[in-house]
Amino acid sequence: MALATQCPQCLTIFRVANDQLKLRGGLVRCGSCKNVFNGNEYLVEAGISDGLYHPAPGSRALPPGIPPPAAPASIAMPATNASPGADALPVVNTPAPVEPPAPAPAPTPAPTPASVPPVVTEPIPLVQEPKVFRSPDSPGYIPDLGAPLPGVDALAPDDFPLPSKPSADDEPRRSPQDGAPDDTPADEPGTATDAQPEPEAEPAVLDDLDFVKKAERRARVGHVTQIAMILLAAVMVPLLLLQATYYWRNQIATGAPMLRPMLNGMCATFNCTVGVPAEIDQLSLESNELQVVPPNQNIYALSLLLRNRSTSAQAWPAIELTLNNDDEKPVVRRVFRPRDYLPGSAQIDNGIGAGSEQAVKLTFELDNALVSGYRIYLFYP
């Protein structure tokens, strides 16, 4: 479909092709005044463009919707003033300016000289028509000239390549017979026929590509890291379990006696022993007494009552006995291990039962010791 657009600066109407409007988003340059504007916003109807309205330089052009004032009709001269050879002279047909087509009026008689309207010299005021909103895809769509395209005012002439001067071939041609405009659209500067360089990639597109590459790189690194973490966990988890078993081997053996053989095999490898828990805070002395065994004055007997407050068996502690003189200074210090106050090794291995009490009695000899007091301390060596 033939399209036409009108320059908003010089009001020149010229034909455009749809490819020309799509080339730069509708931006075209007027061949008359070199003004750059959006051709989509100033489209006119195809009927108006047939006249190819070009205002005279310096004249005030009217919008294409208002017809120019009618020219005064020529006045017929009396036949008596005509010279005898007037009929033989050739008649020169001066072409009148082409006006936009209008509906054919009804035939009227030729106006008399008295009825000739005066020439209009003042500009005719424009009548604002009501706005009719149409879809841009509908035929005959004419955008609102009062709403410029955002960003068009900021365009500079250097933003687009300067076209060559319009030649005679670019001007619309008319047939000498009927004066009808040529239907072939004229080539405008900057159209699809001109060789256009390939558009370069915009920085935003390059940034998007870089972002995609970075995301893919992070995904690959994340996949490798995930595999490494799985392998590391497969190695570290068994090592952590082995370390925990070694550290709590006594508690495990006490709580699960059926695992003691396995724990003994582990300790044979790591050179350790499997016993019972040794938590000195769970043991307490309920009573203690130091007496001299008669008739000798250098033999003493120590009686203790040990209590296990824990819910599991505990190892037998070592007992430290300190004898003081009258000044509360230590005179003798003795340490008794479980083998010194227990009768057999089986009882030593089993430990003191959970929540149980055990009486302990120790006998020892001191030579020439002046003892007036004592202290007892439980500990694990």
* pLDDT per residue as tens digits for the range 186-205: 455 444 445 555 555 455 54
Look at residues 137, 159, 194 and tell me which one is the last residue of a structural domain: 194
Q: What is the share, in percent, of the chain residues with pLDDT greater than 90? A: 14
**Do 143 and 284 fall into the same domain?**
no
Look at residues 145, 177, 194 and tell me which one is the last residue of a structural domain: 194
**Do 189 and 284 fall into the same domain?**
no
Q: What is the pLDDT of residue 294?
A: 82
138 burial level (CB within 10 Å; 0-12, 13-18, 19+): exposed
Output 320 or 103, whichever has higher pLDDT: 320
**Do 178 and 37 fall into the same domain?**
yes
Does residue 325 form part of some domain?
yes
Domain extent for 375: 280-379
Does residue 175 form part of some domain?
yes
CA distances from 12 to 46, 187, 270 (A): 14, 16, 102
Q: Interior CA angle at 90 toward 89 and 91, to 5°?
A: 115
CB-based contacts of 163, cutoff 8 Å, min separation 6: 29, 31, 188, 189, 190
**Do 188 and 302 fall into the same domain?**
no
Q: What is the share, in percent, of the chain residues with pLDDT greater than 70? A: 56
Look at residues 159, 194, 229 and tell me which one is the last residue of a structural domain: 194
Does residue 131 form part of some domain?
yes
Secondary structure (3-state) at 200: coil
CB-based contacts of 165, cutoff 8 Å, min separation 6: none
Residue 231 has pLDDT above 90, yes or no: yes
Does residue 213 form part of some domain?
no
Query: In the structure encoding, which two tokens stand for residue 144, read together?
Result: 């609102």
Residue 208 has pLDDT above 80, yes or no: no
Nearest Cα to 14, choosing from 193, 160, 188?
188
Does residue 80 form part of some domain?
no
Average pLDDT estimate for 73-86: 38
Q: What is the pLDDT of residue 130?
A: 44
Q: What is the pLDDT of residue 337?
A: 92
- If pLDDT is split at 50, 70 and 90, which confidence band does 327 have? confident
**Do 168 and 295 fall into the same domain?**
no
**Do 61 and 182 fall into the same domain?**
yes
Q: E-assigned strands of 202-254?
A: none
Does residue 162 form part of some domain?
yes
- If pLDDT is split at 50, 70 and 90, which confidence band does 59 have? very low
Does residue 113 form part of some domain?
yes
Check if the beta carbon of residue 366 is closer than 8 Å to that of residue 310. Answer: no
**Do 69 and 180 fall into the same domain?**
yes
Q: How far apart are CA 306 and CA 377, in angstroms?
A: 12
Residue 65 has pLDDT above 80, yes or no: no
- If pLDDT is split at 50, 70 and 90, which confidence band does 23 have? confident
Residue 266 has pLDDT above 60, yes or no: yes
Residues pairing with 303 in the sheet: 289, 361
CA distances from 201 to 155, 198, 208 (A): 21, 9, 11
**Do 37 and 145 fall into the same domain?**
yes
Half-sphere exposure (Cβ direction) of 364: Cα atoms closer than 13 Å:
18
Least confident stretch, 40-54, 149-163, 244-258: 149-163
Rama region for 25: left / alpha / beta (φ>0; ψ in -120 to 50; rest)? left
Task: Tell the residue number behind the tokens 């919008």, with chain if given.
Answer: 63
**Do 124 and 28 fall into the same domain?**
yes
The enclosing domain of 355 has a CATH number of 2.70.50.60
Q: E-assigned strands of the chain?
A: 3-6, 13-16, 27-29, 36-38, 43-44, 283-292, 299-308, 318-324, 330-336, 357-365, 373-379
**Do 158 and 289 fall into the same domain?**
no
**Do 288 and 190 fall into the same domain?**
no
Query: In the structure encoding, which two tokens stand for residue 372, read together?
Result: 């007036």
CB-based contacts of 162, cutoff 8 Å, min separation 6: none
Q: Interior CA angle at 45 toward 40 and 46, to 5°?
A: 105
CA distances from 222 to 226, 231, 234, 263, 296 (A): 6, 14, 18, 40, 84
- If pLDDT is split at 50, 70 and 90, which confidence band does 94 have? very low
Does residue 263 form part of some domain?
no
Average pLDDT estimate for 350-362: 88
CB-based contacts of 148, cutoff 8 Å, min separation 6: 38, 41
Structural domains of the chain, count:
2
Residues in the chain: 381
Q: What is the pTM of this model?
A: 0.37
